[in-house]
Amino acid sequence: MQIGLIGLGKMGIHLAQNMLRNDNDVVAFDLNKDAVKEAGSYGAQTAFTLDEMVEKLATPRTIWVMVPAGKPTDATMEQLAAKLSADDVVIDGGNTFWKDSLKHNRMLTEKGIHYFDCGSSGGWCGALEGGNFMIGGDDKDVFERIRPLFEGISQKDGYLYTGKAGSGHYLKMVHNGVEYGMMEAIGEGFEVLEASDFNYDNAAVAKLWNHGSVIRSWLMELAEDAFEKDPHLDKIQGRMHSSGEAHWTIADAMDHSVPTPVIYEALCARFKSMQEDTFDGKVVAALRNGFGGHAVDKK
């Protein structure tokens, strides 16, 4: 399958390799020319302008957008609406706010272009080795055209067509809210251990808990990795940055009168961590760095 890929950051460049490994013909574009050249070294066709990428794709085109949410995605969608043809497909694989996804869907649909909002989970490791994808879009028949792409780049049972446009990014929003709560619980647990009268080996505890316990998870595996490198996380500050999804989840939950105290408290803990250094914050910061390459504040 031929795919145009826009955005070759830490997620996009790994996704390009995954697509290529699964026998897709990737035409790769990014404003960063070095990133385009790197994609070319893996076997992708290179495009140094958006027009060049569009010209290299056979119709009907399929284009995957993997750029930061907000203005970069908005601008990309506007350009694609102007440059693409009816029956082309656009997949937004970023963390776009679901209401913005609805706007993009309306804009592209007016031009006869099919839009799919795709929540992507698994971090850069999943993008490379097999990710988890939540895909919304108004035309299920058109989704069948791109299903083989997701079958190749996903984990087994790792993709789902979720229904109408907006539903994919909405599901990813809630997923990230759940993720906030899980990471906060892990961070608080290790902070209790760190403050206790006992001398625990944090890496050994994380490894133990990840072998047969009820709380085993990839997050616990990432905790083990972080503690092996820095047993008490002395090298980083306990600042937990946030990217907005938990806030969106809480706001939407309030609109539906659904209480979400765990997600709310997890978000408040992140805000508090920007004011004071906590061990809980160090753990969560290390986990975010582990799965998504998110920046940590070093000491």
Give me the residue spans of the domains in the chain.
2-165, 172-292
Cβ atoms within 10 Å, residue 141? 7
H helices within 196-273, ranges in order? 202-209, 218-229, 245-255, 261-273
Q: State the amino acid at position 160 in one-letter form.
A: L
Query: What mean pLDDT, rounded, does the chain reach?
Result: 95
26, 44 contact by CB (below 8 A): yes
Q: Which of 83, 111, 140, 172 is catalytic?
A: 172
pLDDT for position 295? 75
The pair of structure tokens assigned to 85 is 């043809």
Report the sign of the C-alpha dihedral through residues 51, 57, 60, 61, in that order. Answer: negative
Angle between the 279-292 and 261-273 helix axes, to the nearest 10 degrees?
100
Q: Say whether the peptide bond before residue 231 is cis (omega within 30 degrees of 0).
A: no
pLDDT band (50, 70, 90) for residue 298: confident
Question: Can you give the length of the chain in residues?
Answer: 299
What is d(CA 293, CA 92) in angstroms, rounded to the nearest whole number?
A: 20
Domain 2-165: CATH superfamily is NAD(P)-binding Rossmann-like Domain (3.40.50.720)
Contact yes or no for 226/233 (Cβ under 8 A): yes
Answer with the residue of higher pLDDT: 92 or 244: 92
Q: Are 29 and 49 in contact (CB under 8 A)?
A: yes
The pLDDT tens digits of the residues spanning 211-264 come to 999 999 999 999 999 999 999 999 988 888 877 889 999 999 999 999 999 999
Q: What share of the chain is helix, strand, coil (3-state, %, to 5)?
A: 55, 15, 30
Q: What is the CATH number of domain 172-292?
A: 1.10.1040.10
User: What pTM was computed for the model?
Assistant: 0.91
In one-letter notation, the amino acid at residue 45 is Q
Please list, in sequence order, all residues whose beta carbon lies within 8 angstroms of the beta carbon of residue 162, skipping any fewer than 6 positions away.
134, 135, 136, 168, 171
37 is catalytic: no
